[in-house]
Chain A
């Protein structure tokens, strides 16, 4: 069974630039999550999708972050414009509706 796929693995940008991350969840998993993990901290939920609808985006900085999950499969997370404090690993996870989450390897973002 293929796992959660994320790309790119690494991204380096300058502040005020825009960036996008892609996630393809495990086939058949209806629920998809984006987490942000700042160095030395635990992951923090940014947004949760159920199929192509948003369930929870209460911690998403909506002035600069956006996410979509068209057709209820893969998802894109965008930051525009990026700030220095956005440097982090962005993790995508999915679940079939149970409680065990499967995580991708993440995208490491450095904002200079």
Chain B
């Protein structure tokens, strides 16, 4: 069974810092890996999707990398802003059906001005 772990569980930083959020998974036979953002009382918003054959994806100030062989992914946030405050979830696509995601517990990020 796929297990997804995210470190740290919580992070509090001043505005402007560059951040790294970590995700690890136990089974390297994955289709893809996604990073989501979840704001309180709201659903999940997909930030980045990395296919299993890719090494990284970038969107604006966000960069996600994937090392499938070691079972690791990192989400890099450059020049953090208070609006980045949210919970960030890592999800691994795998299993017998396309679209089935295994989620970590998330990293709760607070960026203070």
Contacts and interface: CB of A to CB of B under 8 A. Distances in A.
Interface string B41-58: 111111001000000000
A56 B97 contact: yes
Given A42-B89, A42-B91, A42-B104, A99 B99 contact: yes
Interface magnitude class on chain A: 20 to 34
A95 B44 CA distance: 13
B43 A91 contact: yes
A91 B96 contact: no
A77 to B, nearest CB: 15
Interface string B76-113: 00000000000001010101111111111110000000
A99 B45 CA distance: 13
Contact of A56 (B46, B96, B104): B96
Given A91-B44, A104-B43, A55 B97 contact: yes
Nearest to A102: B46
A45 B105 contact: no
A99 B49 contact: yes
Interface in A10-48: 31, 33, 40-45, 48
B106 A33 contact: no
Dominant secondary structure at the A interface: strand
Interface string A81-110: 000000000010101000111111110100
Contacts of B46: 100-102
A105 B42 contact: yes
A105 B99 contact: no
A31 to B, nearest CB: 6
The 4 closest A-B pairs by CB, nearest first: A42-B103, A103-B43, A103-B44, A105-B43
Interface of B: 4, 31-32, 34, 36, 41-46, 49, 89, 91, 93, 95-106
Interface of A: 4, 31, 33, 40-45, 48, 55-56, 91, 93, 95, 99-106, 108
